[in-house]
Chain A
Amino acid sequence: MEGGLRRSSETSCKALPSMSSNSSMINDPDQQGGRFNSMDQSCFARPGQSFPAFPPLFGVQSSSLYLPDEKIGNQFEPNSSLNNPTVDWDPQTMLSNLSFLEQKIKQVKDIVQSMSSRESQVVGGCSEVQAKQQLVTADLTCIIIQLISTAGSLLPSMKNPLLSSNPAIRHLSNTLGSPMGFGFSCNQQPNTNDEVTIPEISKTPDYEELMNSLNTTTQGESDELMKCQNPCGGEGSEPIPMEDHDVKESDDGGEGENLPPGSYVVLQLDKEEILAPHTHFCLICGKGFKRDANLRMHMRGHGDEYKTPAALAKPSKDSSSEPAPVTRYSCPYVGCKRNKEHKKFQPLKTILCVKNHYKRSHCDKSYTCSRCNTKKFSVIADLKTHEKHCGRDKWLCSCGTTFSRKDKLFGHVALFQGHTPALPMDDVKVTRASEQPQDSEAMNMVGSIGYNFPGSSSDDIPNLDMKMADDTRYFSSLSFDPCFGGLDDFTRPGFDISENPFSFMPSGSCSFGPQNGDS
């Protein structure tokens, strides 16, 4: 962290005379490099930190970020914010915060000074130096957190874009741990160990100054500021594609493309950062958000200045002069194919891919489907997707395979010769049972009405045989008595009424059988 912060400030604020004058301590570059490597991981470990979802465009970003730093020379006064008449925060709290910061900074300064004085005497006291460096790191972490929370309480009167730029500042510091950033910084200032502390010191007023300038500057000035800050905010938040949260495919985003190994920058997030529930934080109340848009919406409640179209606009990303290098991500789990140490390393495309991959592959499956109680998921979106279809595996093939979707079944049936869609058994039962309930009722009624003609059972073949020929009464019509022959005949069709209750029995019993069996 310390390294990262220093790097950012040093790259951005390299023009500041105060910084270079403060950098009195000179350290061994090798040592410095080793320290950076060790910091590499820890700098991600801050709780509540947004993860560095931005391409490492250090030069551009940082220069724009720290543009107000140019005023640091004439307004370097930590308490100056207290004099601001427009503030609506509690000056007492701020005062105590600032004094705490001052104390802390003094502490660190002392340590570093002692280190530098000892360094001039004993060059080889490595272990002691390292212990002190760790101490410095811890203190600086504390300072930064305090600084940010203090600055956050100032923010109601500040323009919104700074909020989105603030995480970016942190990202910047984080990503400086990557090799590229390191090389870059080495070129800039090869032999400055003193920046371990100095940037931090300068950074504190840096922020204060930023707030102050924002509070005090005229509208025109702040507009100018926003012009500079908007892009970096965009850089910071753009690559988090939160919108397609439940797109499972995005997990394998890196697989389809075959980027040559050296053509992209590999970032590796820390486990805690991956699992952090929120990535955007309100600097006023500390509330966390998954999406920067939600944060912007939230900020509206903190004052009218967040309601301007510019404040509410999505930070655009295209104002960066350099094209963004391709960024890919590595899974922090060693041994995973998605880990950069793996022989056949396959990078992950986006932050979201990292998140989903890590949760799916290396975390407990803590979400259980409440319907089936068997399926477990580690990504809640997966659970929701599953619950949509759970228990609806009703599309059945004759081979016994079930499908949750009809089109999948039809694709399966189309693919395999001889397979056919099969109807669920209960469906068949239902349809068979429901086919003729009212009919059977009516037919029973017919039977009870008394149209039962005993002589007309269906094995009465000669009679039936005659009726089948469609002019059976040809004979009868020859010997026909015009008045009563017809009436003689007219009871005959009644026979089939009487037969129906009997003939219905087999089908009736077969249709109601399954129902009884069920109940």
Chain B
Amino acid sequence: MQHKKRYATLVLTIFMALALIVSACGNNANNGAAVDNGSQSGADAGANNGGTSEELTLKLLMVGAKPVDYDVVFTELNNKLKEKINATVEVEFLDWSDWTQKYPLKFAANEDFDIAYTANWAFYNDQALKGGFLELTEDMLSTNMPQTWAAMPKVAWEQAKVDGKLYMVPHNNTEVTDKVVLIREDLRQKHNLEPVNSPESFANYVKAIAANEKGVTAYGAKAADGWKWHELDQILLEQQNEWNLVDYNVPLAYKLDDASGQLFNVYDTPEFKSLLTYYKDLADNGAWSKNVVSNKNDVWQDIKAGKVASYAQNLGTVAANVAEARRDTPDLEMAIADLTPDKKKIGAISTQNGMAIHATSKKVERSLMFIDLMQNDKELHDLVMYGIAGTHYEPVGDDKFNAGPSAANYTGFSNWGFNSPLNRTDASYPQEAIDMSAEWESKLHHFPLETFVFDDSKVKNQVASVGNVMLRYAIPLEYGLIPDIDKGQAELLKQLEAAGINEIQQELQSQIDAFLANQQ
């Protein structure tokens, strides 16, 4: 009768099941072949020094939309690659709209590809634990990607290990994950407000805008996107108190200066309680829309249209926003505000971006050589990151660039996996952001648990339930939609307990203890 499309899990499962069954017979054969190939090509490698005699086509899986000028750039890239390693590449793009569904399917169906973009936010741990990626040994890395092996800090490899094994060639880029706030500098000056550099001055700014600027929402958030731990929480709870949340799907954190890594429930702290009062005060003063948890608009577009006066994001994103605004909407003056300037800064772990080898790839050596070139060959790196000089970008010196006439035709996909010290910075990138990030790097705090990764396979039921409770009880509470915050917090804690937060805490703590014991 009605053949309505359902995107729900069952149909997904059925399609997956179908795809699997169709490929099931070939599956074992493939696995076997891969093993054979491994030992064989090992021999080959010895025989003909890396073995680039046979021409190969490497298949890449990237997330993001296919750039308009993909053909132009990659034809150029392939010409050079053929010369250097006798290989060409073909990229398959998984569009942003449904990559989270397609990405695991590519592995489940064991499709034919060699290299996959991955990241801690893009299924890295998950796929590694499920056996989607090939384990990379030191031997393989030092033989096939000598330049990367030399250039990459050892800690980056350590951070990319899951359960002690490496499955990814991480990008080579230090980055601070701290979040900042984008504000409207012109509005701040118009209302004679003090500079925004602390939670209090931010509250003043937001309240003043809410009271005096009709038709402007003071703070914009896209709470409807299903994230359980928001940028403002990250700033006002984690950064402000120098905590670190182990996994953004579970509200468990430890203090940065606590060498023993004792976990606690962030929702069950006086700091959270006072943050709730802070949030409630903002909400009651109309700082954000009453329907913030149903908001379907793109916050940045609303800011550009002058409808929203602040939001929180990564420094890199906000800086790019400021650069874009200076180009497109010069009448709106924007500024970057760090609300926690004096606190310890945490470096992004290397798995923020990276490339992994598909477990059943038969072109492992060449794939590693390819990644090596992408990260360390200046000419190829420029090509894959920025496109063709003069068309997509204008090189400025050796380390800067300006957007070219058709910059928009080569952008928007996960080539960040190839980030390296050879990256150029946008010449229009705001100076204050460069300064800020330089200052952060000087305050970068390193601690033993930095490289710890949570393996939730033993408590996945509880993690799923806790995530649900965070969405259902914590988010509305934080956005001030629950009239009585004490009752709301009590209810949240009760529900978390019922969902099994204690079992997660036990499991996580024992993993942390074991990790720390191992390090000594």
The finding on whether chains A and B are genuine partners in a shared complex, rather than unrelated, reads: no
Q: Which residues on A are within 8 Å of B, measured CB to CB?
A: none
